[in-house]
Each structure stands twice: as C-alpha cells, then as structure tokens.
C-alpha cells in the first residue's frame, strides 16, 4: 500500500525554514552592525617607546563605538604608519570589542650634526627619528654635507648603515664617525674613523668577514690608515 503525502505540508515547511534562515541572518547582521555588543570599546597600543600611545590611537582614527566588523585594519595600519617614527604597524581585531595596534618604531643608527645645533638621529633609510641636543655616546656621527632632512633615500647613508650593522663587535664599538663617497659609476665607499684616531677605508658591504679578519691582524701595528676595501690587497700607511 502506498502512503500518500498530505497536500500543502512541504511548501509550508520550506517557507518556515526560509523565514528561520532569514531571521538568523538578520540577527547576525544586527549583532555585527547595529547592536552595541560588538563595537570597539578599547584600543590597545603596544611596541611604542618614542611615540606616545595616545598619538598612535589618534592617528588610527577609530572612534569608540564603531562596529568592529566595519574596521578596515589595513587602512588603520597605513594611517598609523604615517607617523614619522613608525616603521610599520599591525592592527588586529580582538573580538568581541577590542582593537590592538602593534607598532615597530624606526631605530636610529647614526647622528647628523645640525648647523643650528644639536643632532638629528637618522635610521638606515634616512628618516629622522628624533632630534637631540647631545649626541649619544655609542652612536657614530655621519659626516654629511646636507642636513638630516635631505638624507631620505640617500644611497651613501644606506650603505654606511649596512656596513655598521655588519662590522665585528670589537670594531663597531670603536667607530666614532663614518662617511660615504660615491665615485662616478661606482658603489658607495664607506670610511670609518675610530676612537684612537685611526681611519679605515672599508669600502662597500661585500666580503665583510674577510675584511674584518684582515683588519683585526693589521690594526695592531703602528699604521694610522687602513684600506681593506679589496681583501687580499690591503693598503696601510
């Protein structure tokens, strides 16, 4: 015997399921966009030392009460990166109601003497991180013919910063100043002036380990000038 399905039962069930699904979607949309449950109630800033957290939060420009789902983390990060001392920023949503901004600040590597007094502390890309009245004792002076503000993207400064980062520790701690020259059609040549008055023509960033080994042996002698720019053919005088 064949059981006959009651007419009209299936359409009503389909309609009920459709209405239920719509209700769920509407409820989720309301929770995300219209309710006060999932909105930004706190903005946490981490990784700052030079830049006040309040300045980072102001640059982020995310008012409290903004629905968290509407926050574009990429755009917020770019606004924060507009602060000069900020190298990069990462923004994450902390559901249900928080926003965290993690900042990586620029690190100065050299000091540039200003004509009006004091020093600009500059990062490897030539961005001025901050100005100080007295040069930090451990930071080399970069001998530039222009002010710190004109060094952004300068290839000589970039090479000098790279050289300083690759120096052996025994040498890096004795460098008091550095300079870079760029011969026509050639790579930047970096010169180091040491605490004891000796001068080292280091050259470029190539073969740093070899240069360091040769200089470690020769610098014990009486010479005042060392050219290790071409390892194997060191010149002293």
In the chain the first and final C-alpha atoms are separated, in Å, by 114
**166 near 176, Cβ under 8 Å?**
no
Q: How many CA atoms lie less than 13 Å away from 11 in the CB half-sphere?
A: 3
Measure Cα distances from 34 to 16, 68, 99, 197 in Å: 25, 11, 18, 70
Q: Other C-beta atoms within 10 Å of 100: how many? A: 15
Q: Residue ranges per domain, the chain?
A: 42-105, 110-236
Burial annotation 81-94 (CB, 10 A radius, 16+ → b, else e):
eebebbeebebeee
Q: What is the CA radius of gyration of the chain?
A: 30
Measure Cα distances from 70 to 31, 78, 91 in Å: 12, 16, 13
Query: At which residue do the structure tokens 């507009």 appear?
Result: 82
Least confident of 7-21, 121-135, 180-194: 7-21
CA-to-CA distance for 184 and 25, rounded, in angstroms?
A: 67
The string of pLDDT tens digits covering residues 20-65 is: 565 555 445 555 455 567 999 999 999 999 999 999 999 999 999 9
User: Could you say which architecture CATH assigns to the domain 42-105?
Assistant: Roll (3.10)
pTM: 0.78
The string of pLDDT tens digits covering residues 109-155 is: 999 999 889 999 999 999 999 999 999 999 999 998 777 788 988 99
CATH 3.40.50.10960 describes domain 110-236: yes
């Amino acid at each position: 015997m064949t059981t006959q399905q009651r007419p009209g039962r299936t359409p009503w069930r389909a309609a009920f399921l459709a209405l239920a699904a719509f209700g769920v979607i509407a409820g989720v949309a309301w929770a995300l966009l219209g309710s006060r449950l999932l909105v930004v109630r706190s903005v946490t800033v981490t990784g700052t030392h030079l830049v006040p957290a309040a300045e980072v939060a102001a640059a982020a420009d995310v008012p409290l009460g903004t629905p968290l789902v509407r926050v574009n983390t990429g755009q917020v990060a770019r606004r924060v990166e507009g602060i000069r001392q900020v190298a990069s920023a990462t923004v994450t949503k902390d559901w249900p109601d928080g926003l965290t901004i993690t900042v990586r600040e620029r690190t100065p590597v050299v000091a540039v003497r200003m004509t009006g007094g004091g020093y600009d502390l500059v990062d490897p890309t030539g961005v001025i991180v901050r100005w100080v009245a007295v040069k930090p004792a451990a930071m080399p002076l970069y001998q530039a013919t222009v002010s710190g503000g004109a060094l952004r993207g300068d290839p000589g400064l970039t090479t000098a910063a790279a050289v300083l980062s690759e120096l052996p520790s025994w040498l890096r701690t004795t460098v008091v100043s550095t300079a870079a020259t760029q011969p026509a059609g050639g790579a930047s040549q970096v010169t180091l002036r040491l605490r004891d008055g000796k001068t080292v023509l280091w050259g470029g960033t190539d073969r740093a380990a070899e240069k360091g080994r040769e200089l470690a042996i020769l610098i014990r002698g009486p010479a005042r000038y060392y050219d290790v720019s071409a390892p194997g053919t060191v010149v002293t005088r």
